[in-house]
C-alpha cells in the first residue's frame, strides 16, 4: 500500500483537479439547465404552458349565439350560414366576457361585402360575385340585401 501511494502520488493531484472540475460542471449545469428540459424533447416544457397563456381574441361561433340566438337563427337559414359572426363583426372575445363594457361597432358595409363578393377571375366560378360599381350604382349593399340572410 505504501509503495502504491508512493508510486502513484503524481496521479492524485490531477485526479483531484479532475473531480473538482467535474463537480463544478455538475453544479453549473444543474443551475443553468431549466427545470424539466428534455422531458418531451430537446426543449423547455414550460414553453408550452407559456404559449397557451396567450389571450383569445375571437370568442368563437358558439359563444356568440348563446345570447344572439335570433341573429344566429336568421343567418343559419340563409347562404351565410357558415360565415362566423366575428368574420364581419370583428374579434369580440372581450365583449363575450363582459357584454356591457365592450360594445362592438357595426361593420362598414362599403368595404365589408366587396371583400368577398367583388368579381375576380381567380375566384371559384360558383361563388356569387359582382362588379360592385356596375351592380349597385353606388348604393350600399344592405339597402337591398340583408347581411345575415342575403336574400333580396
Partner 1 sequence: MEITRRDILSVGGKLLMIASVGATFEQITGAKPPPDSYRMASHWWGMIIDIDKCIGCGNCVHACSNENQVPKDYFRTWVERYEVPEGYVNPRVSSPQGAIDGFPPSKQTSLKSFFVPKLCNQCADSPCVQVCPVGATFVSPDGVVLVDQDYCLGCRYCVQACPYGCRYLHPETETVDKCTLCYHRITQGLTTACCENCPTGARQLVDFKNPNDPVHEFLRNNKVAVLKPNMATGAKVYYKNLDGSVR
Nearer to partner 1, 2 or 53 (CB): 53
Nearer to partner 1, 21 or 34 (CB): 34
Q: Minimum distance between the CB of residue 54 and partner 1, rounded to whole angstroms?
A: 4
Q: Minimum distance between the CB of residue 101 and partner 1, rounded to whole angstroms?
A: 19
Nearer to partner 1, 14 or 138 (CB): 138
Q: How many CB atoms lie within 10 A of CB 75?
A: 23
Rounded Cα–Cα distance for residues 80 and 111 (Å): 17
Nearer to partner 1, 48 or 67 (CB): 48
Rounded Cα–Cα distance for residues 114 and 80 (Å): 15
Q: Minimum distance between the CB of residue 59 and partner 1, rounded to whole angstroms?
A: 9
DSSP of 40-82: SSSS-THHHHHHHTSPPS---HHHHHHH-HHHHHHHHTSTTTT
Q: Minimum distance between the CB of residue 142 and partner 1, rounded to whole angstroms?
A: 17
Rounded Cα–Cα distance for residues 126 and 9 (Å): 90
User: Reduced to 3 states, what is the DSSP secondary structure of residue 38?
Assistant: coil
Q: Minimum distance between the CB of residue 95 and partner 1, rounded to whole angstroms?
A: 13
Nearer to partner 1, 46 or 99 (CB): 46
Enumerate binding residues for partner 1 (CB under 8 A).
37, 40-44, 47-48, 50-58, 60-61, 80, 82-84, 86-87, 90-91, 115-116, 118-124, 127, 131
> 101 Cβ partners below 8 Å, 6+ apart?
94
Amino acid at each position: 500500500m505504501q509503495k502504491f501511494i508512493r508510486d502513484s502520488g503524481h496521479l492524485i493531484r490531477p485526479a483531484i483537479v479532475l473531480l473538482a472540475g467535474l463537480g463544478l460542471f455538475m453544479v453549473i449545469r444543474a443551475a443553468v439547465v431549466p427545470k424539466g428540459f428534455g422531458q418531451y424533447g430537446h426543449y423547455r416544457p414550460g414553453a408550452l404552458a407559456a404559449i397557451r397563456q396567450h389571450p383569445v381574441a375571437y370568442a368563437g361561433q358558439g359563444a356568440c349565439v348563446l345570447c344572439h340566438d335570433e341573429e344566429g337563427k336568421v343567418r343559419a337559414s340563409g347562404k351565410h350560414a357558415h360565415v362566423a359572426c366575428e368574420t364581419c363583426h370583428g374579434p369580440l372575445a372581450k365583449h363575450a366576457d363582459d357584454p356591457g363594457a365592450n360594445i362592438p361597432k357595426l361593420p362598414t358595409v362599403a368595404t365589408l361585402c366587396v371583400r368577398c363578393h367583388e368579381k375576380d377571375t381567380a375566384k371559384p366560378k360558383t361563388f356569387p360575385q359582382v362588379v360592385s360599381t356596375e351592380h349597385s350604382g353606388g348604393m350600399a349593399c344592405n339597402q337591398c340585401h340583408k347581411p345575415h340572410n342575403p336574400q333580396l
